[in-house]
Chains A and B, each alone.
Chain A
Amino acid sequence: MPEPPHFRRILILWAALSIIATPIVVLVWAPGLPPGNGSNVASGQVTDNAVLLGVVTPIAALMIVFFTYALIVFRRRDGGPEEGLAIRDHRGIQTTWLAATSVIVLLLAAYGTIRLFDEGAGGGQGPDPVAKPSGSVLPVQVIAQQWEFTFRYPTFGGVETPHLALPVDRNIALHVTSLDVIHSFWAHDLGVKADANPGVDNVAYVRPSEVRSFSIRCAELCGLFHGHMFDTGEVMSDGSFLAWIHRAQVAFGPGTGALPKFRSHYNPAPHRRAG
């Protein structure tokens, strides 16, 4: 009995599964994945994840089809050979596999690089960012310390607040720094995550795209109450933000008055009791 055309069967099954699964994954599943569409960089991450899933789905489909086919068709039956047939190399398959995977990896590397240069992807870019948004940018300083984030607005008299509010549809430059140990500012719903290092101004850009609340967490294990280092931020309309910042300027006037002049970062002074 001649051997059935396994290779052709697998190719057909793979093509069929890929044609069905890829659009479902890319168009139906991926758009609903975190972090959502709370900002330009969050939406960008959703798009990036959709692209990655679109590339990965046919590869995963090939694995699934091959293993399922092998389990069913190549299963040892009663009276069959004790051992499987010898596996021999196939230069055509090997070359195709190497070429295809190389092309995929290089394309993804190029895509990732372009996307990083495009908008920074929500990550901290250090004190001298490469990807800067065009137009006006509202600077907001994120000050981490054990165990609380506070926020300073240099264009509003340098007022410092215990909570973060941002205006919608405005480019924001988050200047993330720390007063003691390494923290990480993670506004997951906005797609922003930037390390907070003492003495460093780590800049991350974001443009919130809808009025909403968002969670803030520290993403770097920073001591006893690391798990308590969280807050809820607010994205507001322009009018609500201006009203909020003016109330904050009044409410936190005494504390702001005690602050040093605004700087991009603060080097904690040696402390007389700190050993």
Chain B
Amino acid sequence: MNSVAARWLAIVVGTVIVALAIGLYVNKLVRAPTPVSAQQAGPAQAQLTLGTTPAVGKLGGQPTWVSYLVREGGQWKHTTTFDVPAHSLVHITILNFDGESGLRNPFLSQVQGTVGGTMQLDGKTVKNISPDAASHTFTVPELGIVIPIKGVADDAPNQCEEMPCSLSQAHETVTFTMRTGKHGWIRWQCFVPCAAGFFTGFGGPMQTIGYMDGFLHVV
């Protein structure tokens, strides 16, 4: 092979490698995680159980990051994209194993957009919680839904440090019912600046789909 041919071969091979690397990187950035479907709970009704943890552990790519997870078949799965049925009632339970952080905007301490305008916090019906006691929120701005999630008390015994957390460990349980609309993708997010170690608490897991943000895929 002469030198000109070798140069051309090197250029072509190098270009292909760079293009492949860029393609893989972009694909990793933009692809939606595999969704978990809400379980049918009657005609036009579905049930979804979520969890929040101070660290996702071995279930996620960033073990130390705070994260939402979904519970399916008694197991925790690391995704924040959920399939929910259109024009239906979705009953959501959130098991929070994380501590209190506090809201940046106390307005979001009020339950908004749920059926009845309330939620159940450890079995008690509430319309709001203390802004300082908030650990996370489950907020769907497009549907006007705000669910403030109370944190586990600092002195609570048997706290879970990272997933997989057991239901026997300290946690707060939030349940509520929301109504879905037409088909589509709707983003949801946490509004508590809970990303420990990141600038203003809003980097890392707050800026990465699959941790404290995700989508409701209304099907």
Contacts and interface: CB of A to CB of B under 8 A. Distances in A.
Interface of A: 143, 145-148, 150, 160, 162, 179-181, 223-225, 228, 251-252, 254-260, 268, 271-275
A225 B102 CA distance: 21
B105 A150 contact: yes
Interface stretch (B77-85, B87-95, B106-114, B166-174): B106-114
B104 A268 contact: yes
Contacts of A143: 105
Interface stretch (B44-52, B57-65, B155-163, B199-207): B199-207
Contacts of A274: 193, 195-196, 198-202
Given A268-B200, A271-B201, A273-B196, A259 B107 contact: yes
B71 interface: no
B187 A145 contact: no
Interface in B173-205: 187, 189, 191, 193-202
Which of under 10, 10 to 19, 20 to 34, or 35 or more describes the interface residues of B?
35 or more
Contacts of A179: 104-105
A180 B202 contact: yes
B197 A146 contact: no
A275 B189 contact: no
Contact of A255 (B128, B187, B213): B128
Contact of B104 (A180, A251, A275): A180
B23 interface: no
Instruction: Give the interface SS of chain B, mostly helix, strand, loop or mixed.
Output: mixed
A252 B107 contact: yes
Contacts of B208: 224
Given A150-B105, A255-B108, A255-B110, A273 B194 contact: yes
Interface of B: 101-102, 104-112, 117, 127-128, 130-131, 139, 141-142, 144, 187, 189, 191, 193-202, 206-209, 213
B141 A228 contact: yes
By CB atoms of chain B within 10 A, which of A180, A252, A260 has the most? A180
A50 to B, nearest CB: 37
Nearest to B109: A258
A272 B139 CA distance: 22
A254 B110 contact: yes
Contacts of B108: 255
Given A180-B202, A228-B141, A274-B193, A258 B131 contact: yes
Contacts of A181: 200, 202
24 contacts: A147-B189, A148-B139, A148-B191, A150-B107, A224-B208, A225-B189, A254-B111, A255-B108, A255-B109, A255-B112, A256-B107, A257-B128, A258-B109, A258-B128, A259-B106, A272-B101, A273-B193, A273-B195, A274-B193, A274-B195, A274-B196, A274-B201, A275-B199, A275-B201
